[in-house]
Structure 1
Amino acid sequence: MAKIPRLMPEAPRLFRARVLRSVRHTPSVQRVTVTGDDLHEFPFLGFDHWFRLFVPRPDQDAFRMPDLDGRRWWPSFLAIPEDVRPHCANYTVAAFRPEVGELDVDFVVHCDADGEPEGRAAIWACGARPGDELAMLDQGCIFDCPDDAGEVVVAAEETGLPAVVGIAASLPRDAVGRIIQEVPTAADVRVLDAPVGVTVTWIVRADTEHDVPGRAALAELQRYVPADDRGYAFVVGESRLATEGRRHLHRAGLPKTRITFSGFWKHDARQVVPA
């Protein structure tokens, strides 16, 4: 398999954009399409290309975002007065159309007992209107498959679905492996552009209040045994899926250096975990 480099830009660039449209893409996903004067220059790498998303807080009457360039953006961001500081969250490119300067962002929508969306980013996405301002700080990819990997295994729940979609479409067409993707409902299942040698397993959970996202994907992953120690694994989503998935794969024979894992959020806290 050809080498797929892990790449974070040396000088991350901030892209300013505005909402073009916001629609319910599937029962559990709100898709926001954004555009901008320079968005056609976004250096899209495919795979799990992600970025820091900045959107206004609910109580803000205007979006105020200073320029943030370079790797040391965090101190500058924290220096913004809290009452005007935008909300920041990590998201993956769901689709990119450079010819028209459009980028899609998928937001998983969890609702409370009254059916209202929870979480600042999801609330913003569901209420986004054409012309609303936002900003994105490019962060590159974390998918890092070695060039000698004999097989690749990818596991995620719905928060990792945009990454899985991008990885499936970007893998070399001769790649061999397994994709395990958990979603809340059957209507959230999609057709992945995966190589013919990559088996795709969709797991639809009952999604009741007692079902924890990621547990079903973890159970399926724990039944997987790597063919040898030269494979590569990418496990993302709810924190336990990422950490327990990595633990299983390492015990099953994969070196830790061949496992990329990231807990995007914690179920008991319902909050995004900084990458």
Structure 2
Amino acid sequence: MKRKPVHVAMYSGGASSAYVAYHMVQTYGRENSLLFFTNTLWEHEDNYRFMHEVADYLGMEITYRTDGRTPEQVFYDYKFMGNSRLAKCSEELKVRQTIIFLEELRDEHGLEPILYFGIGRHEQHRAENLKEFYAHRPLESVETRFPLISTFREEIDAKRIIEEDWGIKLPIMYELGFSHANCGGRCVRGGFQHYAQLYRTWPETYREQEEMEEQFREHFDKNVSILKRNGGPFTLREYRKELEQNGLQRYLSVEDDTVPCVCTL
């Protein structure tokens, strides 16, 4: 029996995924669409505000999936501190929850999911990776679409459209200078520029992340860290002292080296 298609926006809390969701709903209708969000429980509260205002604008509900653990709890469960090279938090809290949801759509509701991502031309490699990933998982391949690459000939100024045309204020983390809003700034895939930005903007959040890292190192008696330098561990405590000694500006001006999560922008 042929399944009915359902169009699923991978709703991340960013401007691009919001615009792609809008395009998807306008094209296929609310009755054939879903807004899907995997919650890590570390998101900034203004991200939730933005997502719900956009959902209201679209006349849609948000479908949430939550593992129930925070990234920190995942690190302890696997005895492994997440970093830019390997982040079990993304794998467990986002990818695994997404695959479970896709199987539910097929097995329990008889629907065939088609996934929509807010990835632009400047991230073509991410689109290719996601296309390849969902071609082999879950048990059957899942179609992936990237409208900002394949549909629109010109670059879409999603941020301007959302604020000026929709009248919705963007998430505060854009205004504060972050390149992404993953996990409210505590993303372990963030690099040196990201954590310098975090320390400048929310030093108390930086210290929370620093303390989490120190407790993990002590608990498991492992010389591990989120950041790496010269191929080895470089702790947030060491980095904070360097930032305080040398000044933030030189670190803020370097290129952001965050490695995006699999399912998010």
TM-score, normalised to structure 2, is 0.29
TM-score w.r.t. the length of structure 1 is 0.29
More helix by share: 2
